């Protein structure tokens, strides 16, 4: 199963952005917190980073980034196929991921199994 950082790399390749350009788009003063994701195999982005990505890249399907389920891009509610990477989740879990309540996204990220 691909990691969040690998899915983020797919998205950056699609957007033709390197890490520095990506960080500039998100208005980060330093690239360190994004570069950390690419250095460590099991690194997971914080909820703040995920929120920033969702805010600055509205075409990205954040559910796909977090779980690997669905399509990489969303277009006005319709999913556009670019990369299809699947992961096993029940429908109930997917609903929770799509509509997180305060703290749920952080719990989901912290409790994700380590990917080998």
The reply to whether 20 falls in a domain is yes
Residue 27 lies in a domain: yes
CA distance readout (Å), 43 to 20, 59, 80, 92, 101: 19, 24, 27, 26, 23
Classify residue 72: in a domain, yes or no.
Answer: yes
pLDDT digits (tens, 9 = 90+) for 67-116: 988 888 886 444 343 434 444 444 434 443 444 444 455 556 666 666 55
Average pLDDT value for the chain: 75
The DSSP symbol for 60 reads: B
Within-domain flag for 78: yes
Cα(5)–Cα(101) distance, integer angstroms: 23
Q: What are 24-70's pLDDT values in tens digits?
A: 999 999 999 899 888 887 788 999 999 999 999 999 999 999 998 88
> Is residue 116 domain-resident?
no
Report the domain count for the chain. 1
Give residue 63's domain range: 4-110
At residue 49's C-alpha, the angle toward residues 63 and 24, to 5°, is 115
115 within domain boundaries: no
Residue 47 lies in a domain: yes
């Amino acid at each position: 199963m691909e990691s969040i950082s690998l899915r983020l790399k797919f998205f950056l390749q699609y957007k033709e952005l390197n890490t520095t350009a990506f960080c500039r788009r998100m208005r980060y003063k330093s690239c360190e917190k994004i570069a950390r994701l690419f250095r460590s195999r099991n690194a997971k982005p914080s909820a703040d980073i995920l929120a920033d990505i969702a805010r600055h890249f509205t075409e990205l399907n954040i559910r796909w980034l977090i779980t690997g389920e669905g399509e990489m891009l969303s277009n006005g509610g319709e999913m556009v196929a670019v990369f299809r990477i699947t992961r096993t989740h029940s429908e109930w879990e997917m609903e929770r991921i799509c509509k997180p309540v305060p703290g749920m996204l952080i719990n989901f990220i912290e409790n994700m199994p380590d990917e080998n």
